[in-house]
């Protein structure tokens, strides 16, 4: 079999995992008959890396971005720099030089996937990106290949392990948001600056990548309503648990007739739901497929070896000659139309509304009246225990399906009631797609 030679750009956590898999004897080489070889590692820290990698394997360590591109023996360039500037340059130059590309860069794909895919096809090359969503879970491949004949009705789940770890710690150990984030940082699950994760941006990037594959449309990042977990109140997690729900940061895409409803937000899932039982840094993705039915995949969404495993699976797919063919032929990688999105005000969901309400006769009635006037039907009302020294008791309203715009209007009106002294009620969506 023809030897496929690889250049890895960026040898951080994931890159080092990729190098170790490529350089170790093991299943990859047994299964593929030694047809893949690591030839270059491109990284500024060449001296440091020389100590990390085996010396006798003939790997060329360099900080010269161009060297592997000039080498006709290199067939695959693996971009693991991250970011959207140098990474993009490297990918474009690699494609132009006739290399196939593997990347884990969801930010780049979410923001510039269209141009990059078009560029790759124009040069007769391919871009593979299994590692860009949910690390060790082969979700990209499962949609692209396993569900190739399936109309996708919805795809949603937990695609950010950092947020899931934080929410799990808040739920199971009763930590505050701040303490849970600090714990995640201490364990290396969160960056020093965790904003990309906790504000939901990373999840939105991944959702954009999934949506293109699942629905064959492109979506601009700024069009995905995105809410993170930094505003989550520990009390809501506790009240929700009392009602049988677990709070998860979800990325959600649902087909509504010819339009798509996209969003990233903390949402309540019934605790028996397979996505709800996924705790810690694990990821979980639920797909409702027109033929295959409901499919749930859970696994490691990040980390050195899970992500490296996904990167290497793409390298192998190219080495075995099959990925580029897929890329050149499937419509999702070609010019796709823009998504026709449901505006957030038209989302129809059940809602959890929590407000501090003065314990006086008729108080609940006033709230209920406003909800009724806005067309929001109440499924249940739960008064929580009054905090010590407080006059207002937290009251949770669970609604039937209602329109998000109507809920917004109702909350504006309720926040002006004198019997609701705590300000605007807190709102969480209940996901039961």
Task: Please give the Cα distance from 412 to 414 (Å, whole number).
Answer: 6
**Do 425 and 355 form a contact (C-beta atoms < 8 A)?**
yes
User: Is 137 among the residues that bind a copy of itself (CB under 8 A)?
Assistant: yes
Active site residue 206: yes
Among 3, 277, 345, 379, binds a copy of itself (CB under 8 A): 277
Among residues 155, 300, 124, the alpha carbon closest in space to that of 219 is found at: 155
* DSSP annotation of 150: P
**For a copy of itself, what does the binding mask look like between residues 219 and 258, x meaning CB under 8 A?**
----------------------------------------
Q: Is the dihedral of CA 98, 37, 104, 325 positive or negative?
A: positive
Cα–Cα distances (Å) from 244 to 241, 276, 348, in that order, read 5, 11, 21
Catalytic residue, from 39, 206, 248, 349: name it: 206
Q: Edge-to-edge, what's the strand order for the sheet holding 127-128?
A: 60-62, 36-42, 4-9, 74-79, 100-103, 127-128
Q: Smallest distance from the beta carbon of 260 to a copy of itself, in angstroms?
A: 15
Among 231, 290, 343, 421, binds a copy of itself (CB under 8 A): 290
User: Is 291 among the residues that bind a copy of itself (CB under 8 A)?
Assistant: yes
Q: Which is nearer to a copy of itself, 39 or 426 (CB)?
A: 39
**For a copy of itself, what does the binding mask look like between residues 309 and 348, x meaning CB under 8 A?**
xx-xx--xx--xxxx-xx--xxxx----------------
Q: Smallest distance from the beta carbon of 312 to a copy of itself, in angstroms?
A: 4
The conformational region for residue 423 under phi > 0 = left, psi -120 to 50 = alpha, else beta, is left
Residue linked to tokens 């040898």: 11
User: Is 120 among the residues that bind a copy of itself (CB under 8 A)?
Assistant: no
User: Is 28 among the residues that bind a copy of itself (CB under 8 A)?
Assistant: yes
Cα–Cα distances (Å) from 310 to 14, 111, 203, 333, in that order, read 10, 21, 18, 19
Which window, 27-35, 84-92, 196-204, 359-367, contacts a copy of itself (CB under 8 A)? 27-35
User: Among all residues, which ones are annotated catalytic?
Assistant: 206
- The residues that touch a copy of itself, with contacts defined as CB under 8 A, are 1, 17, 21, 26-28, 30-33, 35, 130, 135-138, 141-142, 145-152, 216, 272, 274, 277-278, 289-300, 303, 305-306, 308-310, 312-313, 316-317, 320-323, 325-326, 329-332
């Amino acid at each position: 079999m023809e030897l496929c030679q690889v250049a890895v750009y960026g040898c951080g956590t994931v890159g080092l995992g990729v190098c170790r898999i490529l350089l170790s004897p093991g299943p990859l080489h047994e299964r593929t008959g030694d047809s893949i070889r690591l030839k270059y590692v491109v990284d500024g820290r060449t001296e440091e890396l020389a100590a990390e990698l085996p010396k006798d394997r003939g790997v060329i360590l360099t900080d010269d971005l161009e060297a592997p591109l000039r080498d006709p023996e290199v067939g695959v360039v693996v971009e693991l720099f991250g970011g959207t500037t140098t990474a993009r340059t490297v990918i474009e130059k690699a494609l132009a030089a006739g290399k196939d590309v593997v990347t884990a860069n969801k930010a780049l794909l979410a923001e510039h996937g269209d141009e990059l895919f078009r560029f790759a096809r124009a040069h007769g090359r391919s871009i593979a990106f299994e590692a860009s969503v949910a690390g060790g879970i082969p979700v990209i491949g499962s949609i692209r290949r396993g569900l190739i004949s399936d109309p996708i009705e919805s795809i949603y789940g937990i695609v950010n392990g950092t947020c899931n770890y934080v929410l799990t710690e808040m739920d199971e150990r009763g930590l505050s948001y701040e303490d849970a984030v600090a714990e995640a940082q201490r364990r290396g699950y969160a960056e020093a600056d965790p904003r990309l994760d906790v504000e939901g941006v990373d999840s939105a990037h991944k959702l954009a990548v999934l949506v293109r594959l699942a629905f064959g449309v492109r979506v601009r990042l700024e069009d995905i309503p995105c809410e993170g977990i930094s505003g989550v109140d520990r009390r809501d997690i506790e009240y929700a648990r009392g009602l049988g729900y677990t709070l998860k940061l979800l990325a959600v895409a649902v087909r509504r007739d010819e339009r798509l409803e996209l969003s990233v937000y903390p949402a309540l899932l019934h605790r028996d739901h397979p996505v709800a039982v996924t705790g810690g840094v694990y990821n979980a993705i639920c797909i409702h497929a027109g033929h295959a039915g409901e499919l749930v995949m859970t696994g490691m969404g990040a980390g050195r070896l899970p992500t490296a495993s996904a990167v290497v699976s793409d390298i192998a797919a190219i080495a075995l000659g099959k990925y580029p063919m897929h890329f050149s032929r499937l419509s999702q990688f070609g010019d796709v139309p823009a998504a026709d999105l449901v505006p957030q005000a038209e989302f129809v969901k059940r809602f959890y509304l929590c407000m501090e309400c003065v314990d006086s006769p008729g108080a609940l009635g006033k709230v209920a009246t406003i909800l009724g006037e806005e067309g929001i039907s109440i499924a249940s009302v739960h008064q929580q225990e009054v905090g010590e020294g407080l006059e207002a008791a937290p009251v949770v309203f669970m609604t039937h399906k209602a329109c998000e715009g109507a809920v917004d209007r109702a909350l504006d009106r309720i926040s002006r009631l004198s019997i609701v002294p705590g300000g605007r009620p807190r709102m969480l969506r209940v996901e039961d797609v």
